[in-house]
Structure 1
Amino acid sequence: MTYYRPIPRTDHHHHARPEGALPLAGGWCWFDTVEVLARDAPPRLLPARDLPADVAHRLTAPRPPLSGMDMDAPRLMGILNITPDSFSDGGRHFDPATALAHARAMAQAGADILDVGGESTRPGAAPVPLDEEIARTAPVIAAIRAEIATPISIDTRKTPVADEAFRAGATLVNDVSGFTFDASLAPFASEHALPVCIMHAQGTPETMQQDPRYADVLLDVYDWLGARVEALTALGIPRGRIAVDPGIGFGKTRDHNLRLLQGVSLFHGLGCPVLLGASRKRFIGDLTGTPVASDRVPGSLAIAVMAANQGVQILRVHDVAETRAALDVWDAIRSC
């Protein structure tokens, strides 16, 4: 199998953009060269004009709006963990009033969607009982929906949790298991025409960091996500309602994470919006000597700007105001 990674550019001026350059996913990046990857051959470069037609279509077609968000600029998904034990902000938003205040602050800071989760998926985390996960999430979603217009996603692996969240006003299902944990969750999303995010993880949160291994992490994750996209489209969820997430930190070593970030534009070949969640993760701490998660904002911002340069459409972040400011500066430089 051959893989094609577009090499994105963001130069705004026409003289910098050669004849034959193609738009990347109908967004703010373009490319005139792709890196051709294979498991049994060294990488090589290919002019974009020589791409197979079906590949070129997948890489260039505009992505339709997802849960009300246009995909023509990087969008911010603000993280709202309503858990006592999440790795970065566990316990901080466990009280519904605190959670609502944090949602309000993220919306005012420029979040495009709020991602509400009631089950920690940090390394070593144990599963949460169903009733408890529902009790943490659905009332908070209802309270947010009552006063904030920002779209809400439910971060869950379980259909009953997604069902209660949907009734409370959530309009996207973000599943860290890529819809492999609960066989009824994808049909539920299909039935209610809900957009979804498929994330790659190797193993479960309890075991995923013990000894993750890949033949080629970039291509292995791409193949897995591609197979999940096919499975969901077969269940009636159109490609335009599916976002893909390579799952930074979920069954990945530091080197695996870095390789996925370096090659993240490959995932545009799936024909879906790309969502990236690297905010405050442990490998940033390893790289920057910051054992405390809340000290990892600078490294998180570096990844956000790098991802925007790679055409990544959705950034899942803890620090909405800071990320919005970084992207505002990036955008001003890019489009002057």
Structure 2
Amino acid sequence: MCIGGIDFHWGERTYVMGIINVSPDSFSGDGVCGVKAAVEQAKRFVAEGADILDIGGESTRPGSEPVSEEQEIARVIPVVEAIHAEMNVPLSVDTYKTGVAERALEAGAHIINDIWGLKRGDEMAQIAAKMGAPLILMSNQRDEASVSIIPAVLADLELAIEKALSSGIASNKIIVDPGIGFGKTVEQNLEIIYRLGEIRRLGRPVLLGTSRKSVIGRILKVAENDRLEGTAATIAIGIAAGADIVRVHDVKAMKRVASMTDAIVRRN
């Protein structure tokens, strides 16, 4: 897959996606204010080994207040434009709003990261198809705590993939994310990480987003900014199980974790 002029060879190594939050109420408290701060964070992340930057303007933490499309555009688009102007790095926009996604792609972003996996409508897929952009489809199991989680995630992602393909997205432009922390219990999250290899049945690159998630806090009984070791454990296990991309807040440390894990599990 070519993203932003850079070839990604799935299976050869793990790619690191650095998270840039431009929402002041980010669950991990790492939101940046202003374009200058976001660009500086982007430069640091790339220097530390990030392969992709994921820019988001609305918090997805439980209980957070949704923001309007206009407000999200005002937060995200100037940051996308500034980073794109200064750096040659693939940019992803983390949004479920079609207006934000379209404006971000026009401003220089390369990937749409849809946390609702087209549950809010097929227009997101149509925009990605029109712009030739890869689409990340996440499984979001809101209020399904009692389900058998792996079959549920597979069915959810299969449906999303069908919608994407029917909207004209090329088969090789789809990435899947099992959605750690979105409508799932602690045990379900742990099971997904342990059985991540089963998500590879879908034949798509797999993104794993465990960084600083509440499942780590619940197990280790630590706050959001004290979850580095727990994140590292989930990433190492996830890579061993087949993750292609890891989405992280702590790029330098997790790049090292990914490189060391790759050296063990991708020797051939």
TM-score, normalised to structure 1, is: 0.75
Task: Give the corresponding residue for 1:93.
Answer: 32
Secondary structure (helix, strand or coil) at the match of 1:116 reads: strand
Give distance in 2, aligned partners of 1:330 and 1:156: 30
Of residues 13, 22, 34, the one that matches 1:82 is 22
Counterpart check, 1:276 vs 2:208:
yes
Secondary structure (helix, strand or coil) at the match of 1:143 reads: helix
Task: Give the corresponding residue for 1:171.
Answer: 110
Task: Give the corresponding residue for 1:224.
Answer: 156
Of residues 105, 125, 140, the one that matches 2:44 is 105
Give distance in 2, aligned partners of 1:171 and 1:297: 28
Counterpart check, 1:152 vs 2:91:
yes
Kindly tell me: are residues 183 and 127 of structure 1, through their superposed partners in 2, closer, same or farther at Cα, counting changes over 3 Å? farther
Structure 1 runs, 4 residues or longer, greater than 6 Å off: none
Give distance in 1, aligned partners of 2:120 and 2:33: 25
Equivalent residue runs for 1:1-336 within 5 Å: 64-65=1-2, 68=6, 69-71=8-10, 72-90=12-30, 92-203=31-142, 212-290=144-222, 292-334=223-265, 335=267
Amino acid paired to 1:268: R
- Report the CA distance between 1:65 and its aligned residue: 4.5
Higher relative helix content: 2
Secondary structure (helix, strand or coil) at the match of 1:325 reads: helix
Amino acid paired to 1:309: A
Summarize deviations over 1:43-90 as a string: whole Å, max 9, x none: xxxxxxxxxxxxxxxxxxxxx445533222110110001001110035
Amino acid paired to 1:87: F
Give distance in 2, aligned partners of 1:234 and 1:333: 39
Secondary structure (helix, strand or coil) at the match of 1:284 reads: helix
- List alignment gaps of at least 5 residues for structure 2: none
User: Does the 8 A contact of 1:158 with 1:182 survive in 2?
Assistant: no
Give distance in 2, aligned partners of 1:95 and 1:256: 37
Secondary structure (helix, strand or coil) at the match of 1:84 reads: coil
Amino acid paired to 1:244: V
Secondary structure (helix, strand or coil) at the match of 1:135 reads: helix
Secondary structure (helix, strand or coil) at the match of 2:147 reads: coil
Amino acid paired to 2:41: H
Give distance in 1, aligned partners of 2:228 and 2:72: 28
Secondary structure (helix, strand or coil) at the match of 1:225 reads: helix
Stretch deviating more after TM superposition (149-158 or 213-222):
213-222
Summarize deviations over 1:157-180 as a string: whole Å, max 9, x none: 111101111111100000001022
User: Does the 8 A contact of 1:214 with 1:220 survive in 2?
Assistant: no
Amino acid paired to 1:96: V
Amino acid paired to 1:306: I
Kindly tell me: are residues 328 and 70 of structure 1, through their superposed partners in 2, closer, same or farther at Cα, counting changes over 3 Å? same
| Higher-Rg member (1/2) | 1
Kindly tell me: are residues 257 and 271 of structure 1, through their superposed partners in 2, closer, same or farther at Cα, counting changes over 3 Å? same
- Report the CA distance between 1:215 and its aligned residue: 2.6
Give distance in 2, aligned partners of 1:260 and 1:152: 27
Secondary structure (helix, strand or coil) at the match of 2:59 reads: coil
Kindly tell me: are residues 295 and 133 of structure 1, through their superposed partners in 2, closer, same or farther at Cα, counting changes over 3 Å? same
Kindly tell me: are residues 331 and 232 of structure 1, through their superposed partners in 2, closer, same or farther at Cα, counting changes over 3 Å? closer
TM-score, normalised to structure 2, is: 0.94
Summarize deviations over 1:213-249 as a string: whole Å, max 9, x none: 2431111111110111011111111221000101000
User: Does the 8 A contact of 1:172 with 1:194 survive in 2?
Assistant: yes
Secondary structure (helix, strand or coil) at the match of 2:43 reads: helix
Amino acid paired to 1:230: E
- Report the CA distance between 1:183 and its aligned residue: 3.6
